[in-house]
């Protein structure tokens, strides 16, 4: 390689690194500091799912609950664009536009249609996608082509015998699988997809749902594995007891913290997740979609003041 070519490559690499730093610094889930300054909007365009987790209960018309898988309504891509226009105009501190359900974004073509519309009109926003990872290897070319910047994969286990206790089935290439066979397919695709995404330069977060008595003692192995793979951050989420796991006990905050501390040497821990709805927007923990007009205006004024101080 000539010196001249080498210099151009160096500039390209450092340009990409700078871009990644900017994306992380403005993403409220990837940076603890960003959570008070920048917001995100979730567009609920993805109702279908290609697997069934034993803890998942999706609701598409619910205004009262605040947890993953819940939305007041499912939007079409054009409705999602219109909501984005209104929200970004009113709350310019929102820098991240994401699809996180209520089902799996990669099991719905509407996800990519939506992202393409958003990217064409708002090229500067960060596109964020959250998936169970089953379809990741197949969808990676489309993910890259669409310009997705940040990717979350839910990885609850790397041992199929443990994963098989967390899911009822997966539907892969038109066929339904159950038990350990289903878990093997899911884990294989999750790990292959994470590797492809790291290689493509995406910033990766892993969500791991902590289910006492099933995967709690195994999560440290997940942390070691994702460290090896170059994952940026890990989010250990407490089980919300519902669906098939309605009668189980969630981890205590102390148990979760102890596990986060044990995993921290391997991979940075996100500790401020609020398990948001699929249609949330605003700051983490201050969901504007669930607020009165008056409260929204107060937050807007607070953020304008904060921006003036910066």
Ligand X SMILES: C[S@@+](CC[C@H](N)C(=O)[O-])C[C@H]1O[C@@H](n2cnc3c(N)ncnc32)[C@H](O)[C@@H]1O
Q: Which candidate, 268, 264, 104, places its Cα nearest to that of 186?
A: 104
Structure tokens at 119: 């990217």
Binding partner of residue 284 among ligand SF4, ligand X, none, CB cut-off 5 to 8 Å per kind: ligand SF4
What's CA 171's distance to the chain center, in Å?
A: 21
Q: Which residue has the tokens 């290689």?
A: 199
Interface with ligand SF4 includes 51 (CB under 6 A)? yes
Which of ligand SF4, ligand X, none does 51 bind, CB closer than 5 to 8 A by kind?
Answer: ligand SF4
- The angle, 0 to 180 degrees and rounded to 10, between the axes of the packed helices 136-146 and 109-121 is 20
C-alpha Rg value of the chain to the nearest Å: 19
Q: Does 36 bind ligand SF4 (CB under 6 A)?
A: no
Pick the piece of the chain touching ligand SF4 (CB under 6 A) from 178-186, 217-225, 258-266, 272-280: 272-280
Residues with Cβ within 8 Å of 149's Cβ and at least 6 positions away in sequence, in order, are 23, 126, 127, 128, 202, 203
Q: Which residue is nearest to ligand SF4 (CB)?
A: 56
Per CB under 6 A, the segment of 95-103, 114-122, 179-187, 288-296 that binds ligand X is 95-103
Residue 78, both tokens: 């054009």
- Which residues ranging from 170 to 229 are in contact with ligand X (CB under 6 A)? 207, 209
Angle at 56 between CA 53 and CA 61, to 5 degrees: 145
Is residue 49 part of the contact set for ligand SF4 (CB under 6 A)? yes
H helix runs in the chain, sequence order: 3-25, 77-90, 109-121, 136-146, 160-163, 179-199, 219-229, 253-263, 293-309
Q: Which of residues 16-75 bind ligand X (CB under 6 A)?
A: 49, 55-56, 68-69
DSSP letter string, 176-219: EE-HHHHHHHHHHHHHHHHHHHHHTT-EEEEEEEE-TTTTTTTH
d(CA 226, CA 267): 7
Using CB under 6 A as the binding rule, whether residue 183 contacts ligand SF4 is answered as no
Asked whether position 29 contacts ligand SF4 by CB under 6 A, the answer is: yes
Closest distance to ligand SF4 from the beta carbon of 103 (Å): 5
Map residues 91-130 to x or -, x wherever contact with ligand SF4 holds by CB under 6 A. Answer: ----------x-xx--------------------------
Is residue 101 a contact residue for ligand X (CB under 6 A)? Answer: yes
Q: Which residue is nearest to ligand X (CB)?
A: 68
Compare residues 51 and 125 and give the one whose CB is closer to ligand SF4: 51
Residue (290 or 303) nearer to ligand X, CB? 290
From residue 15, alpha-carbon distances to 9, 11, 146, 202 in Å are 10, 6, 20, 14
**Which residues between 151 and 170 bind ligand X (CB under 6 A)?**
154
The distance of closest approach from Cβ of residue 212 to ligand X in the complex, given in angstroms and rounded to an integer, is 12
Contact set with ligand X (CB under 6 A): 49, 55-56, 68-69, 100-101, 103-104, 130-132, 154, 207, 209, 237, 239-240, 242
Contact set with ligand SF4 (CB under 6 A): 29, 40, 49, 51-53, 56, 69, 101, 103-104, 132, 235, 273-276, 284
């Amino acid at each position: 390689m000539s010196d001249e070519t080498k210099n151009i490559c160096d500039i390209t690499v450092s340009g990409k690194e700078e871009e990644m730093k900017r994306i992380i610094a403005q993403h409220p889930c990837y940076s603890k500091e960003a959570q008070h300054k920048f917001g995100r909007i979730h567009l609920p365009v993805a109702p279908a799912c290609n697997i069934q987790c034993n803890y998942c209960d999706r609701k598409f018309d619910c205004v009262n609950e605040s947890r993953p898988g819940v939305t007041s309504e499912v939007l079409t891509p054009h409705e999602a664009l219109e909501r984005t226009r209104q929200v970004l105009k009113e709350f310019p501190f929102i820098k991240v536009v994401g699809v996180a359900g209520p089902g799996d974004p990669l099991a719905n073509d509407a996800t990519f249609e939506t992202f393409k519309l958003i990217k064409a009109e708002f090229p500067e926003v960060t596109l964020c996608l959250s998936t169970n990872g089953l379809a990741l290897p197949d969808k990676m070319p489309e993910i890259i082509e669409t310009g997705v910047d940040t990717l979350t994969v839910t990885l609850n286990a790397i041992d199929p015998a443990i994963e098989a206790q967390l899911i009822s089935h997966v539907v892969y290439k038109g066929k339904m699988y159950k038990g350990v066979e289903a878990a093997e397919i899911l884990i294989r695709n999750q790990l292959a997809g994470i590797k492809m995404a790291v290689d493509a330069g995406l910033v990766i977060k892993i969500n791991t749902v902590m289910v006492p008595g099933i995967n709690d003692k195994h999560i440290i192995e997940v942390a070691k594995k994702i460290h090896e793979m170059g994952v940026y951050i890990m989010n250990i989420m407490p089980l919300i007891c519902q669906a098939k796991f309605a009668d189980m006990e969630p981890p205590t905050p102390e148990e979760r913290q102890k596990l986060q501390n044990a995993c921290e040497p391997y991979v940075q821990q996100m500790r401020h997740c609020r398990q948001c709805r699929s249609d949330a927007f605003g700051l983490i923990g201050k969901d504007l979609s669930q607020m009165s007009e008056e409260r929204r205006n107060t937050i807007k004024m607070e953020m304008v003041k904060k921006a003036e101080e910066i």
